[in-house]
Structure 1
Amino acid sequence: MRTLLNIVWLIFSGLWMALGYVVAGVICCVLIVTIPWGIACFRIAAYALWPFGHRVVERRDAGVASGVGNVVWLIFAGIWLALGHITAGIGFCLTLIGIPFGIAHFKMVPVSLMPLGREIVRSDAAYPSYHWSRNPVT
């Protein structure tokens, strides 16, 4: 089922959203100083092409530099990419068949707003440090 959803996603919106991330990544890499954001763009572009079966998790080892970098990203590119996901998500949710794709767009909004300090992992893989049910009590 994931493969079918990913193929339909690729045709109707994945290619366009991934192209937006690739353009942002190329611009970031050309500017040299913003290469970390460019690498994040390319990583998210791959996720935007084939999102079903993957999820975004927060990296616990991300430091203050990731937070500062995310603020800079938010101002210059994150808002525009997130608006693309929100617009596409609303459009897909207007149809009954498009609801899973709209939800997938909405799931991409947080990573498009703040990509640094996040990692894209397979949903079915065993990542004990990133397990969804793990809730440390402090």
Structure 2
Amino acid sequence: MNIKEVSERLKIPKETLRYWENNGLIPKVPRNSSGYRDYTENEIKWALFIKAMRSAGMSVESLIEFVDLYNAHRGSQEAQKSLVKEQYEILLAKRNELDKTLNYLSYKLDHFEDHVMPFLEEEEYYELRKEQMLDDNNQDE
């Protein structure tokens, strides 16, 4: 599959795919007889993984570390898992903060006409919802 097709399939700019390849985030893409990139499912899977981890906020440096660990093979699975778990926890914390903010804004919209609520009462509601969200998430685990 050529770079244009991969770009469209994964909704990743061609320049980004080239950057990832040049920086070792995805394996070197084989070339066809004309010298054009000819992606296999292996490079496409890597691109999808890198896209997901970048969407999760993982830095390019951490991804390079992950790929280096993967390429080292022996004894690196726990370290790889640790990097993914760390990013998962960061993303979960961000989601919790977003949920808290969404709940607060939802409340504000539901009570938009009643904007006379004292600040301290609003602050209590905001913090109370945060605690409830954390309790809910801890019960899910």
Given the two structures, how large is their TM-score scaled by the length of structure 1?
Answer: 0.24
The structure that has the greater radius of gyration is: 2
TM-score, reference length from structure 2 = 0.24
The structure carrying a bigger strand percent of its residues is: 1
Q: Which has the higher contact order (CA 8 A, sep 6+)?
A: 1
